[in-house]
Amino acid sequence: MAYLPTRVRANVAGDPERTAGVRALVEPLAEAWRAAALEVSVAAAPVERAG
């Protein structure tokens, strides 16, 4: 997780360019985790049977 120290340094230094670089790395990962969590929750949802 090398991005975390970079993010902290960028924040402390007020470096928007470095912050944007870290954000560009982390946002796709966050979206992938959200998508995976949604898939798991849908797969785990109980199936209602007719009748």
pLDDT tens by residue, the chain, 51 residues: 566 787 778 778 888 888 888 889 889 999 999 999 999 988 887 777 776
The answer to the question of residue 24 being in a domain is yes
The answer to the question of residue 33 being in a domain is no
pLDDT at 2: 66
pLDDT at 7: 73
The answer to the question of residue 46 being in a domain is no
The answer to the question of residue 42 being in a domain is no
**Model-level pTM?**
0.58
pLDDT at 37: 93
Q: Which domain holds residue 18?
A: 1-28
The answer to the question of residue 8 being in a domain is yes
pLDDT at 51: 61
Give the other-Cβ count within 10 Å of 10's Cβ. Answer: 19
